[in-house]
Amino acid sequence: MLKLTGKGTAHTCDGVSRRDFLQVGALGAAGVTLADHVQAREQGLIRGGNDNRSVIMIFNLGAPSHLDTWDMKPDAPAEVRGPFKPIATKAPGVEISEMFPGHAEVGDKVSYVRSCYHTSAAVHDAGWQMMQTGRQFQGGINTPHAGAVASYLQGRRTDLPPFVILPEIMGRGGGNLPNGQAGGFLGKAHDPFVLNADPSQKDFKVPDLLPPSEIGTVRLDRRRRLRDLVDDTVRSFEASDNATLLDSNFDTAYRLMTSAQAREAFDLEKEPAPVRDRYGRTRFGQCCLLARRLIESGVRFVTINTFLTVFNEVTWDIHGSAPFTSIEGMKKTVAPMYDQAYSALISDLSDRGMLDDTLVCNLAEFGRTPRVNPAGGRDHWPQCFTTYYAGGGVQGGRIAGTSDPIGGVPAERPTDPGDVVATIFHSLGYNLESKLPGPAGRPFPLVDFGKQPVRELF
């Protein structure tokens, strides 16, 4: 996002001024220019999708134990099956953990893929980038987040940004790797709008919807008009691709700050108290409610980070020993707030007639070890895990793919990160054979060769 300062200078989120932007050629450095974009469309390399479709990606940072949640193994030995019992859902024959009664109630709307895996390191941020972009970053090429691709292919619908992340960008994951929550080689123009606030707090405000304290609304409007009063030298810059991007970012910031529609969409006080209570007054619960409001107001793609890092709070990262929690601890701290918010979101979308056009996908960076460790937890396990989906054309109550008897490896329908992202793009109506303008303007496949959506879901 572009920030406006009181010194009469427009800066990007990285602190780059308009003059600096011209000097460094930032758009070219990102590998994408406006000319690339136009040329790609003219050549038919870029094809849009279903304009009615939207996505809410819930990323379960920390990685839930599939064996204790969505892929129960009640007949396995105790050290494999864990302490919980399966319960029936509203989908005949589909069982999940007793920790998630709310999920069970919406089970006829939800389908699970129990055969996910990846071959990257068992490091959180390696999985983050793969599961959100479909690829492992190599050779200095950062693949864009699926939401950034939606931003590029279809753009905004309204005053609101096309791609939003709630409540914050992912923090540290231990591997010091890019987390995949950016525009990548598509450039900063397709980075997400990031909330950077906790919507469960009583004084919740969206920082980037407010003019900086040193700029009143009258000065903000005056500054917009004064931007046109430039000398001939700057006017020559105005026609360049770099200026187009900077102007677009300025206009985005200005539009957000002055848009009644944007303020309305982010204003949770507009929701009746019983609705907010239904989602739960937790950070994750209110993010789910806010995601529904944003989709309702025209945002194409919302990613919710269930947690912000695996280091400073109890998450799905259940190694057992301090500072992490145990399998039992997950039941007490994580599962209740998560189950309440997710089931409320699916029910609310369905009640409002929005679910058919909103794909809600629940992803994670990997699963957990098939056997409980001596500390009463489970460790990292990318060899097998579960993702699940509702809405957006997905038929509820299905199981696609299975794991072996101990949940160690896929047994049927192996599904890797490329297939997961292809599933999201399929829901959005994208032609998976189309290409993006990659680094230096070279065509870049939307998905890698051989990657296919999990069609058993649709």
Predicted pLDDT at 440 = 86
Radius of gyration of the chain (CA): 22
10-24, 302-316, 334-348: which range is least confident on average? 10-24
Pick the closest to residue 20 from 30, 28, 10 (CA basis). 10
Whole-number pLDDT of residue 227: 54
Query: Residue 334: which of 405, 406, 285 has the closest Cα?
Result: 285
**Each residue of 410-421: pLDDT tens digit?**
999 999 999 999
Partners of 111 in the β-ladder: 389
Give the other-Cβ count within 10 Å of 47's Cβ: 14
Q: What is the DSSP letter of 59?
A: E
Cα 336 to Cα 70: distance, rounded to the nearest angstrom: 15
Look at residue 256 in the predicted model and tell me its pLDDT: 77
In this predicted structure, what is the pLDDT of residue 248?
57
Query: In 3-state terms, what secondary structure has residue 259?
Result: coil
Please give the full DSSP string across 309-361, using - where no structure is assigned. -SSSS--S---SSTTS--HHHHHHHTHHHHHHHHHHHHHHHHHTT-GGGEEEE
Q: Are strands 399-400 and 110-116 parallel, antiparallel or unpaired?
A: parallel
Least trusted range by pLDDT, from 10-19, 238-247, 256-265, 437-446 = 10-19
Q: 334 with 196: CB under 8 angstroms?
A: no
In angstroms, the CA 137 to CA 152 distance is: 19
Can you name the residues that pair with 193 across neighbouring β-strands? 164
CA 134: distance to chain centroid? 13
440-448 CB contacts, 8 Å cutoff, 24+ apart: 440/31, 441/31, 441/32, 441/33, 441/36, 441/39, 443/40, 443/45, 444/185, 446/149, 447/134, 447/418, 447/421, 447/422, 448/134, 448/135, 448/418
Phi, psi of 12 (to 5 degrees): -80, 175
The residue with greater pLDDT, 287 or 210, is 287
Tens-digit pLDDT profile for residues 129-146: 999 999 999 999 999 999
pLDDT in tens, 220-253: 455 555 555 554 445 555 555 554 555 556 667 6
What mean pLDDT do residues 191-195 have? Answer: 96
Mean pLDDT of 27-34: 40
Q: Per-residue pLDDT for 97 more than 90?
A: yes
Angle subtended at Cα 404 by Cα 402 and Cα 405, rounded to the nearest 5 degrees: 115
The C-alpha atoms of residue 314 and residue 64 are separated, in whole angstroms, by 12
Q: Are 48 and 60 in contact (CB under 8 A)?
A: no
CATH number given to 52-209+270-432+441-457: 3.40.720
Q: What is the mean pLDDT of the chain?
A: 86
**pLDDT value for 229:** 54
Percent over 90 (pLDDT), the chain:
74
How many whole angstroms separate alpha carbon 318 and alpha carbon 380? Answer: 9
Nearest to 71 by CA among 424, 324, 388, 458: 388
Question: Which residue did the predictor score with more confidence, 19 or 123?
Answer: 123
For the chain, which residues make up each domain, given as ranges?
52-209+270-432+441-457
pTM, two decimals, is 0.86
